[in-house]
């Protein structure tokens, strides 16, 4: 076989495969009326805000963290999906003041109920999302009763539940009849107990979902 013929064959096969993949992605999704369950991995990037701990004023920062959890959802139609996710992790909190620096970690749990709007009624579509929920952090037993006394030179006792909201956008790809991948960016807002200002967080969320009727 001549090299030119081989090259043309490879190019032709590539074009056919690309066309088939494009048609698959743009095919009707078949999502209507299906339930979804799956796993999520989420990265949070915390903000730095003015804060206070035991009467001292300084800067409070939530360090970057990665968490994992589960997602449950329902596809109302080709465009609307309501879902809830539960994400668990461990958060590092830093506080810097003229009196010194404090650092502690706490169990981190975020729960939100979200509404996704799929722009296209196809297997591959961008989407917009928004949601409300709660953020819970706690190290009260470990840092307070067990190991430390309440003075400034110890760690930070944390036990709080805070209102949480998010808005964002992403991409969804139904790679098979019952499997979907979602990658999204979310912008969160909340107000922590030791913060004087509202704290905002950037987040990237990857979901692997199994959907069924």
Q: Can you give 20-67 as a three-state secondary structure string?
A: HHHHHHCCECCCCCCEEEEEEEEEEECCEEEEEECCEEEEEEECCEEE
What DSSP string runs through the chain? --HHHHHHHHHHHHHHHHHHHHHHHTSB---TT-EEEEEEEEEEE--EEEEEETTEEEEEEE--EEEEEEEEEEE-SSSEEEEEEEEEEEEEEEEEETTEEEEEEEEEEEEEEEEEEESSSBSEEEEEEEEEEEEEEE-HIIIIIIS--SSTTS----EEEEEEEEEEEEEEEEEETTEEEEEEEEEEEE--TTBSS-EEEEEEEEEEEEEE-
At residue 78, the pLDDT reads: 92
Backbone angles phi, psi at 157, to 5 degrees: -70, 125
pTM exceeds 0.85 for this model: no
Q: Considering the chain, what percentage of its residues have pLDDT values greater than 70?
A: 80
CATH label, 31-212, candidates 2.40.160.20, 2.60.40.420, 2.30.30.90, 1.20.1250.10? 2.40.160.20
Mean pLDDT value of segment 44-71: 87
d(CA 108, CA 57): 24
At residue 84, the pLDDT reads: 97
User: What rounded mean pLDDT belongs to the chain?
Assistant: 83
d(CA 64, CA 46): 6
Mean pLDDT value of segment 102-120: 92
At residue 26, the pLDDT reads: 66
Digit-coded pLDDT (tens) for 179-210: 999 999 999 999 888 888 888 999 999 999 99
Digit-coded pLDDT (tens) for 126-181: 999 999 999 999 986 554 444 444 444 556 788 889 999 999 999 999 998 899 99
d(CA 138, CA 131): 23
């Amino acid at each position: 076989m001549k090299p030119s013929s081989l090259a043309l064959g490879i190019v032709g096969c590539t074009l056919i495969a690309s066309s088939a993949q494009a048609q698959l992605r743009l095919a009707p999704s078949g999502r209507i009326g299906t339930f979804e369950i799956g796993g999520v991995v989420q990265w949070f990037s915390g903000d730095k805000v003015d804060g206070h701990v035991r009467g001292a004023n300084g800067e409070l920062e939530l360090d970057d963290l990665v968490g994992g959890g589960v997602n449950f959802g329902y596809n109302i139609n080709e465009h609307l999906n309501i879902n809830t996710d539960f994400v668990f992790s461990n958060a590092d909190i830093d506080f810097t003041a003229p009196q010194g620096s404090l650092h502690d970690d706490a169990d981190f749990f975020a729960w939100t109920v979200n509404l996704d709007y799929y722009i296209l009624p196809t297997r591959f579509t961008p989407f917009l999302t928004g949601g409300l929920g709660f953020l819970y952090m706690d190290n009260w037993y470990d840092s307070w009763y067990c190991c430390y006394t309440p003075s400034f030179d110890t760690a930070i006792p944390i036990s709080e539940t805070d209102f949480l909201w998010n808005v964002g956008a992403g991409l969804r790809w139904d790679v098979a009849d019952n499997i979907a991948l979602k990658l999204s960016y979310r912008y969160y807002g909340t107000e922590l107990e030791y913060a004087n200002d509202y704290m905002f967080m950037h987040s990237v969320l990857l979901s692997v979902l199994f959907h069924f009727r």
